[in-house]
């Protein structure tokens, strides 16, 4: 039986898309999101023009590659909110997300940058952020989470963990777990001591935006 030309073209397009996503997933996991478009195209075995037809912007590619990880990210906050002990749920969420970072350098970048051209990805992150605010309030209400923990402290934790993962290579997961254990102990109200005020949310946003712009520029130069 002869396959219609349109069906054959669609099947070929799906194969090319899958090859690009798989190659990008491998490279992002190994090297982070600074990998160039040319490198993704070479690993996938398709031309740059074909890649760009499927994913016109880097944000489009990032959103496709990390769709499953974002689902797991949402599941992690849902599990934390379902925990009858909000403090335990809070700790489990921090541990889970930091482990996800340690296992995948690309996902480390996804959690610490903005992707304005990927509205669905940003909507998912916004939903987790809202749920995390609820989790913070519940954990504080138990008296276990220190009263001055701020929502933006999660970004600080993720950036610190990203630095550990990037700097420690093969021992990254073990180093990450130790860092997270230290931090969770410091978040416990029973061990709390006064802290400096956290950066404002606007300041955190500005830092992340500048970081993303600098990285994108560097990646563009390599292409």
Is the pTM higher than 0.75? yes
- State percent of the chain over pLDDT 70: 87
CATH classification number, 66-222, choose in 1.10.357, 3.40.50, 1.10.10, 1.10.3470: 1.10.357
Residue 7 confidence class, pLDDT cut points 50, 70, 90? low
Domain positions in the chain are 5-64, 66-222
Computed over every residue of the chain, the mean pLDDT equals 85
pLDDT of residue 216: 43
Task: For residue range 118-167, list pLDDT tens digits in order.
Answer: 888 889 989 999 999 999 999 999 999 999 999 999 989 998 998 888 88
Residue 218 confidence class, pLDDT cut points 50, 70, 90? very low
Whether CATH 3.40.50.980 fits 5-64: no
CA–CA gap between residue 73 and residue 97 (Å, rounded): 7
Task: For residue range 10-41, list pLDDT tens digits in order.
Answer: 778 889 999 999 999 999 988 888 899 999 99
Residue 69 confidence class, pLDDT cut points 50, 70, 90? very high
Residue 212 confidence class, pLDDT cut points 50, 70, 90? low
- State percent of the chain over pLDDT 90: 50
């Amino acid at each position: 039986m002869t396959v219609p030309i349109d069906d054959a073209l669609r099947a070929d397009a799906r194969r090319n898309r899958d090859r690009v996503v798989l190659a990008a997933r491998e490279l992002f996991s190994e090297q982070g999101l600074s990998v160039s478009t040319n490198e993704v195209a070479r690993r996938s075995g398709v031309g740059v023009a074909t890649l760009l037809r499927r994913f016109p912007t880097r944000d489009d590619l990032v959103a496709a590659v990390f769709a499953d990880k974002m689902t797991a990210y949402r599941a992690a906050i849902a599990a934390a909110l379902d925990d009858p002990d909000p403090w335990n749920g809070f700790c489990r969420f921090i541990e889970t997300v930091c482990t996800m970072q340690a296992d995948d350098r690309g996902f480390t970048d996804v959690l610490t940058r903005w992707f304005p051209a990927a509205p669905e990805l940003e909507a998912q992150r916004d939903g987790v952020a809202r749920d995390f605010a609820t989790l913070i309030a519940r954990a504080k209400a138990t008296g276990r989470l220190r009263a001055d923990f701020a929502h933006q402290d999660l970004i600080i934790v993720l950036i610190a963990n990203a630095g550990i993962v990037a700097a420690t290579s093969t021992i990254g997961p073990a180093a990450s777990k130790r860092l997270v254990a230290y931090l969770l102990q410091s978040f416990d109200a029973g061990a709390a001591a006064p802290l400096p005020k956290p950066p404002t949310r606007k300041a955190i946003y500005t830092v992340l935006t500048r970081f993303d712009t600098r990285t994108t520029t560097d990646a563009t130069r390599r292409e």
